[in-house]
Structures are given as C-alpha cells and as structure tokens.
C-alpha cells in the first residue's frame, strides 16, 4: 500500500539491521530494587508481511497512550517527568556529582513506575538529591525547555512540584486501601478531584445500570465537582486525554487496513468508535466482538482495562499489549479450554455457584510484541478478559499466557542463587529444576483461562459489591482454582504434566513466595497494599493456619534462617479447595463483610522480623525484587514508492534511550489535563 500523507502513524523510519540472535542478552540495567530485562519475540520474522504491518501499527497505537497512565497515576507526574528529563538532557553542570547521579536514579524510577509512586508498593518515593540542587539545576537551563503551564514562571512551576516531590506529608500513597479512611482524599491517583468517597459512591448508586447488559460505570471517566455538581469527565477524542486518544485511533485505523479478516477489522473499528464517542455501550460491543475473534493470529489489548489503581475499583488505567499466537505452545491451553466444563463441574464450590454451561472459554499462549501503559515496564504474565461478568457468562472470555515474558524471567534468573538460599532441601531444588517452569506456566494457564472464567454471581448481586477488596478476592479465587487443579489427575491424563509428582513444585514455590519471599518487596514498617501480593499472602497464611493442627506446612530454622517445609501435599490441596469454596461463596453472594474480614485477617499485616530477615538474605544475593522490560523496536522498510516491504525488529535499545525516545516521539498530552 502506498505511503499516505504524514499523520501520527505515517512517519518513515530508517531501516536498522536486527542483531544476530547469538548477540541477545536479557539483562539491560539494574538500579535500586529494579532489574531491567529485554524479551525476545520468536517467530516474528515468520509472520506474513500483512501480519507484520498489522503488528507495527498496533504497536504504534500502544505507545501513543503512554502519557495517559502518568497523568492517571498522579496529576503532577507529567510535569515532574518532563522537568527531570529536561534537566537530564540539558544540564551543563557536573554530571558526575552525587546529586546529579541521584537525579538520574530518581528519573529511572519515575519511568519504571510511570510516576512518583512505587509501582507495587503504592508509596511515594522521595528524591535522594537535595531540593537546593534541583532548584538550581532547573533554573540553569533554558525556560523554553521546561514544561511551563499556561505561561507560568519557572519559580511558579517549582513552587507547585517541589512540595509534591520532596515533602513526606504530601500525596504519599497512590492508591490507599486502608480501612476507616476516605480512600479518595488519601489517594494521590488522578481519578477524582474535589469530591469525597461518599459523594462518588452516591453518584454511582444513582446511575447504576440494572439492565441485562450493564455498562461498566466509571470505567473511562474522571469524577469531579463543578459548581457544586458531581459529574464525569469522559476519556474520549475531544474529551479528557483527547489528543492521545486521537493519535491512538489514527493508528488503529491504519491497523484495520491490514486486519487478517473481517472479524478482526470489526474489533479494531469498534474500539475506534469507542475512543471517539466514549460510549460504554460501544465498549461492550467492542468486548463482545473481541471475544468472538478467535481465528486471528495477531491480537491486542488496548484501552482502559484494569481498575487496580482506583481505590474504589471503578475507573481503569490505560494499558496495551500487542501479541501473536504461539502455535505450538497453544496446544497446551487448548486442552485446558476444551475441558472447561469438567473443571467447572468438579470444582470444590457450592453447586449453586457453578456455571451449568461454560461458554466461549478460549485460551492461547502468546508472544508479546510490545508492552505499553500499565503493562510497561512491569507486565503481567497472563491475562483474562473482558472483566464484565455478564459478558463472560453470555459470550465467554479470552485467556492468554505470555510465554516469551516468562522465558525472559527464567533465563535471567539463572545464576541468581535464590533456590539454594531459600529452598529447604535438594529435593525441592531438583523438583523445581524439573517441573518449575512447566508448573508456573500451567498455574498461569489455569488462573487466567478457567479461574477468572469460573463460577457465577447469584441473581441480583452487584458486580462491585466487594468494593475495595474485590481485586484481592478475585485474584485469590483465580489463584486457588489454578492451585487446586494443578494437582488434579486430569492434568496428567491430558498430557499437560508428566506425572503426579510435578505439581509439588508449584505448591512449594507458591507457599514459599506467599509466606516469605514476596516480603522482600516491602519496606520496613510497611504493610501489603497491592492486590496480587495481598492475595498470595491471604492464601498462604490461611492454609498455613488451618493446617497447623495437622502440621501440613511448617516453618523450620537452620543456621538462624527460616525455611518452609510442606509435610502433606495432598492435604494442602484439600485446604486450597476449602478456601476456594469460601472465596467463591463471598463473591457469589457479594458478602462485603466476609470478604473484608478475610482480607484484613490474612492479607494485610506482615511478620516484621521475618520480612527484615528475607530482605537481608536477598541483599546478599544482589537480586532485585522487581523486574521490568525494555521493548524491541519495530522499523518499517519502504520501497521507493512508499510501500512497506518489511518490518524489522531491533533489540539493542537501552533503558534510558528508550524512555527518552518515547518522551520525544509519543508525548502529546498537555502537562496538566483537565
């Protein structure tokens, strides 16, 4: 196709040769508590030219949403990031000084977290350079290189952002989940302004959709109070985040020209219509069309998807993943999906909570081509969408395991020494070597493919009945489903695991992580905040406590160090099943008080001495507790007539270089968005 007039998605790029595969290295950078990796995109070169071009335009659409997430995470993030980048690139002082090196470290952390709050722990991280240095550095560069807002002076800008950056009593938690507080007033995220939690809950109660095909109220809107009236600012072209969404829609329209089939083209154009209108009924149409598109090899997620960043669990953060099917590995997930009714029928939950007919469960193993928004630099390893229960029930869901990401984690972890430091004996170490990767992938398959898709709400139960605890309980439900069925003989019968010994690798690693290892991520004196971490501790602590009388799982001490020992794997499976029944009962009945009690009892508070021990042991290994990625770079190759003749992939871009390029090439939003 001839190159069209220059638009947001029609910028010719120079061809760059892909490095030889033997030159590939997974490790890119390491700083603070973070390690940066890169991931391979196997088989991209084997895609057809049409598929490669489709991937290219979908990746361009993904990258153009980057600024949205920064602004959602905190209204000052874009101003702070742009100011830091201006100093980093233009400062003429001593770049070897401790202050400048600490500014670089802080900027790297801001890039990783898409803002000034820790991506997992939710707390604001403070600069380790002085405020005086920052003031002097900012004032030393040309004012036209700074993100001055509405004609303000440099002093005015500094007066606005320096308290946010340096004070330890301002906007300290991105998403507060603490009981007994106004969650909106105590959260720094930018989903609400000028309203209280009570006002927001009253607003949505008055607008609740009780139809058979309800919209996801609040999913794509910021709630504000204007002239004393509570109202929505909708994310759409011409509305909030309109400039970025217009660019995304432009790229999606280009992608639609290369769709593999009419069904996929309908999906892409439905998403464009949703971005242009902001209409959540159109979003439902898009979700249904997306679920039905099971024949395309290339696929994507693009939009306001997950609500973990909203303290009320209503408004979604922006994210995107572009991917294509791993044909060989998908045979595993197809076996699981094809037996979905068996797993539902034999689930250890009350009969009234089981689906009589499991519909539309599709599962595949994918190769990620690009990560963006709330999936970058830190990313999930599995996805199950859409989130609306009624669409899942009537039309089904899609589940994916992102195997080239898990490959990168596994390859980078070789030589870390964590198993020797934390596993109780050689038996657990050898079992992990034999079965660890396959059971990790299986648990992700079961979690995403069947766990989230299992069960049903009782008639009249609201989707948001569990409020701020909904995500922890839902992730716990899916994890428990996966854990229970990892040890089911059906898995061996289907040829997914080689024997009934393999599942023990997953059980041991899950309990070790839930009771001990994930504590390395928590700062001294802090509790668990993030939903996935809460879910893992909730499960591990509950089964540990309820199995104590039978000594199912125990702590042992050796050389002053604590270890986990599992004495009865079969009984542990039964306990996972019992807890699954409890969590499904809470969800199906919408029992907020029971859910709150379960989360607050097992998921929040941590063993402080054990946490300090784990952190000290990890520090000696020099292993960063969090991992993230740089993306490959896709470059279209044009002939003399402007036709795309190939799309190449390059793996050589570094962490700093990538983020600076993204800020130069994909930053279209105003510094402050209203």
179-184's contacts with Cβ under 8 Å and 24+ in sequence apart are: 179/596, 179/600, 183/311, 183/312, 183/468, 184/311, 184/312
In whole angstroms, how far apart are CA 496 and each of 441, 493, 505?
11, 8, 15
> Residue 12 — pLDDT band, cuts 50, 70, 90?
very low
Nearest to 343 by CA among 486, 417, 450: 450
> Residue 416 — pLDDT band, cuts 50, 70, 90?
confident
Residue 5 and residue 616: Cα distance in Å, rounded?
58
Lowest-pLDDT range of 3-17, 243-257, 514-528? 3-17
In whole angstroms, how far apart are CA 664 and each of 171, 259, 668?
28, 29, 9
Tokens of 618: 């990890």
pLDDT one-digit tens code per residue, 122-131:
999 999 999 9
The radius of gyration of the chain's CA atoms, rounded to the nearest angstrom, is 25
User: Could you give phi then psi for residue 547, rounded to 5 degrees?
Assistant: -105, 5
Question: What is the number of H-type helices and E-type strands within the chain?
Answer: 24, 15
pLDDT of residue 18: 38
| Beta-strand relationship, 397-402 and 382-385 | antiparallel
Whether pLDDT at 487 is above 70: yes
Does residue 576 contact residue 544 with C-beta atoms inside 8 Å?
Answer: no
Q: How far, in whole angstroms, is CA 246 from its chain's centroid?
A: 24
Residue 123 and residue 134: Cα distance in Å, rounded?
22
Does residue 307 contact residue 211 with C-beta atoms inside 8 Å?
Answer: no
Domain locations along the chain: 76-166, 326-627
Lowest-pLDDT range of 221-225, 413-417, 536-540? 413-417
Residue 553 and residue 556: Cα distance in Å, rounded?
10
Where helices occur in 487-568 by DSSP H, the ranges are 489-493, 503-515, 531-546
Residue 600 and residue 602: Cα distance in Å, rounded?
6
Residue 142 and residue 419: Cα distance in Å, rounded?
52
pLDDT of residue 6: 37
Strand partners, 633: 650
pLDDT one-digit tens code per residue, 86-116:
999 999 999 999 999 999 999 999 999 999 9
Residues 6 or more apart whose CB falls under 8 angstroms from that of 151 comprise none
In whole angstroms, how far apart are CA 248 and each of 49, 64, 340, 658, 666?
22, 6, 36, 19, 10
Whether pLDDT at 3 is above 70: no
Residue 556 and residue 647: Cα distance in Å, rounded?
55
User: Could you give phi then psi for residue 211, rounded to 5 degrees?
Assistant: -75, 175
Neighbours of 532 (CB within 10 A): 17
First to last CA, the chain: 39
Strand partners, 368: 323
> Residue 1 — pLDDT band, cuts 50, 70, 90?
very low
Does residue 486 contact residue 439 with C-beta atoms inside 8 Å?
Answer: yes
User: Could you give phi then psi for residue 396, rounded to 5 degrees?
Assistant: 100, -165
pLDDT of residue 149: 94
Position with higher pLDDT, 19 vs 445: 445
Q: How far, in whole angstroms, is CA 404 from its chain's centroid?
A: 16
pLDDT of residue 10: 53
pLDDT one-digit tens code per residue, 346-403:
999 999 999 998 887 788 999 999 999 999 999 998 898 999 989 988 998 998 889 9
Nearest to 361 by CA among 325, 403, 395: 395
Taking the CA atoms of 279, 281, 287 and 293 in sequence, report the sign of the dihedral they define: negative
> Residue 417 — pLDDT band, cuts 50, 70, 90?
confident
Taking the CA atoms of 250, 254, 256 and 260 in sequence, report the sign of the dihedral they define: negative
Mean pLDDT, residues 481-504: 97
Residue 503 and residue 487: Cα distance in Å, rounded?
5
pLDDT of residue 9: 66
pLDDT one-digit tens code per residue, 177-193:
887 899 999 999 999 99
Largest CA distance in the chain: 76
Taking the CA atoms of 446, 449, 451 and 456 in sequence, report the sign of the dihedral they define: negative
The number of CA neighbours under 13 Å toward the Cβ of 284 is 17
Does residue 416 contact residue 623 with C-beta atoms inside 8 Å?
Answer: yes
Residue 110 and residue 475: Cα distance in Å, rounded?
27
Taking the CA atoms of 355, 360, 364 and 369 in sequence, report the sign of the dihedral they define: negative
Nearest to 112 by CA among 44, 30, 171, 15: 30
Residues 6 or more apart whose CB falls under 8 angstroms from that of 311 comprise 175, 176, 177, 183, 184, 187, 189, 197, 468
Mean pLDDT, residues 287-301: 97
pLDDT one-digit tens code per residue, 312-348:
999 999 999 999 999 988 988 899 989 999 999 999 9
In whole angstroms, how far apart are CA 527 and each of 177, 245, 325, 391, 627?
11, 36, 39, 35, 21
Backbone angle region of 43, left / alpha / beta, with phi > 0 → left and psi within -120 to 50 → alpha: left
pLDDT of residue 384: 87
Residue 79 and residue 190: Cα distance in Å, rounded?
14
pLDDT of residue 22: 53
Does residue 532 contact residue 581 with C-beta atoms inside 8 Å?
Answer: no
Mean pLDDT, residues 146-170: 97
Whether pLDDT at 13 is above 80: no
3-state secondary structure of 416: coil
3-state secondary structure of 323: strand
Whether pLDDT at 662 is above 50: yes
Residue 489 and residue 208: Cα distance in Å, rounded?
44
Cα dihedral 444, 446, 447, 451, rounded to 10, equals: 170
Residue 578 and residue 560: Cα distance in Å, rounded?
34
Tokens of 82: 């742009």
Residue 11 and residue 57: Cα distance in Å, rounded?
11
């Amino acid at each position: 196709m001839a190159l069209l007039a220059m638009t947001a998605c029609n910028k010719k790029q120079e061809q760059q040769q892909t490095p030889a595969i033997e030159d590939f290295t997974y490790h890119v950078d390491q700083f603070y508590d973070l390690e940066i990796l890169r991931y391979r995109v196997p088989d991209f070169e084997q895609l057809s030219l049409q598929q490669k071009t489709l991937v290219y335009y979908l990746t361009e659409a993904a990258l153009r949403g980057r600024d949205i997430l920064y602004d959602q995470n905190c209204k000052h993030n874009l101003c702070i990031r742009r100011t830091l980048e201006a100093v980093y690139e233009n400062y003429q002082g001593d770049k070897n000084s401790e202050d400048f090196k600490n500014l670089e470290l802080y900027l790297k952390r801001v890039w990783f977290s898409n803002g000034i709050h820790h991506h997992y722990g939710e707390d604001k991280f403070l600069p380790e350079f002085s405020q005086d240095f920052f003031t002097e550095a900012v004032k030393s560069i040309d004012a036209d290189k700074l993100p001055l807002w509405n004609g303000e002076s440099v002093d005015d800008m500094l007066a606005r952002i320096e308290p946010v950056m340096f004070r330890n009593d301002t906007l300290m938690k991105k998403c507060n989940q603490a009981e007994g507080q106004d969650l909106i007033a105590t959260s720094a995220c930018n989903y609400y302004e000028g309203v209280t939690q009570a006002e927001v809950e009253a607003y949505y109660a008055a607008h609740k959709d009780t139809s058979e095909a309800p919209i996801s109220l609040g999913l794509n809107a910021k709630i504000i109070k204007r002239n004393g009236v509570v109202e929505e600012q909708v994310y759409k072209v011409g509305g909030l985040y309109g400039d970025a969404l217009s660019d995304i829609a432009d790229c999606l329209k280009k992608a639609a020209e290369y769709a593999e089939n009419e069904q996929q083209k309908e999906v892409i154009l439905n998403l464009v219509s949703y971005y242009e209108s902001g209409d959540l009924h159109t979003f439902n149409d898009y979700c249904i069309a997306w679920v039905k598109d099971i024949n395309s090899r290339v696929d994507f997620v693009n939009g306001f998807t997950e609500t973990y960043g909203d303290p009320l669990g209503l408004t979604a953060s922006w994210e995107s993943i572009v991917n294509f099917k791993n044909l060989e590995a998908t045979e595993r997930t197809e076996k699981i999906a094809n037996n979905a009714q068996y797993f539902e029928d034999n689930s250890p939950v009350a009969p009234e909570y089981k689906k009589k007919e499991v519909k539309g469960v599709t599962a595949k193993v994918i190769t990620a081509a690009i990560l963006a928004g709330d999936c970058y630099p830190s990313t999930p390893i599995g996805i199950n969408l859409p989130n609306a229960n009624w669409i899942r029930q009537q039309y089904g869901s899609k589940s994916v395991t992102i195997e080239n990401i898990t490959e990168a984690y596994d390859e980078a972890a070789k030589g870390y020494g964590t198993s020797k430091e934390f596993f109780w004996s050689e038996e657990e170490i050898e079992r992990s070597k034999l079965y660890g990767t396959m059971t990790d992938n299986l648990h992700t398959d079961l979690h995403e493919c069947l766990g989230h898709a299992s069960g049903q709400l009782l008639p009249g139960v609201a989707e948001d009945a569990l409020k701020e605890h909904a995500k922890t309980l839902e992730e716990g439900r899916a994890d428990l489903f996966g854990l229970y069925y990892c040890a089911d003989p059906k898995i061996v019968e289907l040829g997914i695991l080689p024997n009934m010994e393999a599942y023990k690798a997953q059980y041991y690693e899950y309990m070790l992580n839930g009771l001990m290892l994930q504590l390395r991520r928590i700062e001294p004196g802090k509790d668990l905040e993030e939903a996935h971490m809460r879910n893992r501790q909730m499960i591990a602590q509950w089964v540990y406590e309820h199995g104590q009388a039978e000594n199912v799982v125990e702590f042992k001490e050796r050389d002053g160090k604590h270890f986990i020992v599992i004495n009865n794997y079969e009984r542990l499976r039964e306990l996972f099943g019992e807890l699954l029944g409890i969590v499904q009962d809470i969800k199906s009945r919408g029992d907020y008080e029971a859910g709150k009690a379960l989360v607050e009892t097992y998921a929040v508070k941590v063993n402080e001495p054990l946490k300090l021990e784990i952190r000290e042991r990890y520090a000696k290994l020099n292993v960063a507790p969090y991992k993230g990625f740089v993306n490959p770079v896709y470059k279209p190759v044009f002939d003399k007539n402007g036709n795309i003749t190939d799309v190449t992939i390059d793996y050589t871009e570094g962490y700093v270089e990538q983020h600076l390029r993204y800020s130069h090439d994909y930053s279209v939003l105003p510094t402050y968005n209203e």
